[in-house]
Amino acid sequence: MADLGDIVRGEGARYLQTRFVPSHQRKALRDIARCRTEAMESVTAKCDKCGAPYRLFCSCRNRSCPLCQSEARQKWLEARLEEILPGEYLQVVFNTPKELDVLAQYCPEEFYDAVMRAAGQAVIDVGWSELHARLGCHAHLQTWGQSMAFHIHVHCVVPCGGFSEDGSQWIAFSPDDLPRKALSSRFRALLCKGVRAAARKGKLDRLPATVSVEKILAKIMIREWRVYAKPPFGGAEKLYEYLSRYVYRVAITNERIESYEDGRVTFWWRDYRHGNEEKLCALEAQEFLRRYLTHVPPRAFVRIRSYGFLGNRNRKRNLEHARQLIGEAGAPRTRAPYKPLRLCPACAGRDERTLHFVSCPDVVPQFDLPLRPPPIDPIAA
């Protein structure tokens, strides 16, 4: 079975020759093509089960690579689970209109920044105006749907409670008390204001001359924007576990790729509009790469942000104060720190897809890379 690395090694060179590719997307292609192959350095590891030494290829550590960042993802999840407050949580999803996709294609960093600021501020503003409480939230930007088409939206994890104006009381509320229409209206106003401000400062000058920001905003301002606000199934823990799958990767996992043959890629996707039915999607390999690369975030762009009393500066102190006001002043639940299990090929078995063993690609790499000779010892990753 093929993975994303096989597709990049087979199609990447032709893709770069026929299209303009920004530097952050070029870097993602190069890193994914090299990840856990002969092009990367290898190190000696010791099996945690039998103690036998074996060789391990290094990973590229690119945040867009589906093989990397599992340890960072698990540590992020553990940190969020330790911060969960007693009480209910709310999942709020802000969706942007399709007309704004053109801004993301030409000016991604400026537009994504405006979207995240508008989503986080909308939760804070509506919480204060409607509930008279200072709320907090974790926000995570996603730009893709199941078929890897453009779908810009922000997931917000919101505790159902906040501080009073003087911080002396904890104001709890029901998930139905945070009005969806008010969130939609406030998000729309803040995002349109942010886009106009970016245009005035010249941050959207890369847009084509035929694209008018004011015409786009005038068209979408008269519509109600889609905002989802419901309690998560299974509580806050399940919601954080769901978001952790997308925190350090983009668009698709190797497990969803069914095949790569004759210049076509087939992958599984879930149709949420028709009962979560799983379907197969077949694309030309060049179109598959184009869709994937449109979701690679700009260099150094932060896709996970915190707002309100969950902001990074005073988060620990605010959480301790919130637990005292709620009546749960005890220490938060502690979990054993995450430690990845390293097994040699003999102990791990032969399931290459599940255990991420490095396999020699069937397609000869087309990138001009300084390849190293493969280590002699058995190799796993």
Give the integer Cα–Cα distance in Å for 141 and 155.
Answer: 7
pLDDT for 150-199, tens place per residue? 899 999 999 999 999 888 899 999 988 999 999 999 999 999 999 999 99
pLDDT for 17-44, tens place per residue? 888 888 889 999 998 888 888 777 777 8
Going from N- to C-terminal start, the domains of the chain cover: 84-250+296-326
**Positive or negative torsion for Cα 81, 87, 88, 89:** negative
Contacts of 301 (CB under 8 A, 6+ apart): 108, 109, 112, 113
pLDDT in tens, the chain (381 residues): 688 888 988 888 888 888 888 888 999 999 888 888 877 777 787 787 787 787 778 888 888 888 888 888 888 899 899 999 998 999 999 999 999 999 999 999 999 999 999 999 999 999 999 999 999 999 999 999 888 888 999 999 999 999 998 888 999 999 889 999 999 999 999 999 999 999 999 999 999 999 999 999 999 998 899 999 999 888 889 999 988 888 888 888 888 889 898 889 999 888 777 667 788 888 999 999 999 999 999 988 999 999 999 998 889 999 999 999 988 644 455 556 666 677 777 777 654 433 434 444 444 444 554 434 444 444 333
Contact 232, 89 (CB under 8 A): yes
Give the integer Cα–Cα distance in Å for 232 and 90.
Answer: 6
Which pLDDT score, from 0 to 100, does residue 333 have? 57
Which pLDDT score, from 0 to 100, does residue 278 have? 82
Contact 365, 38 (CB under 8 A): no
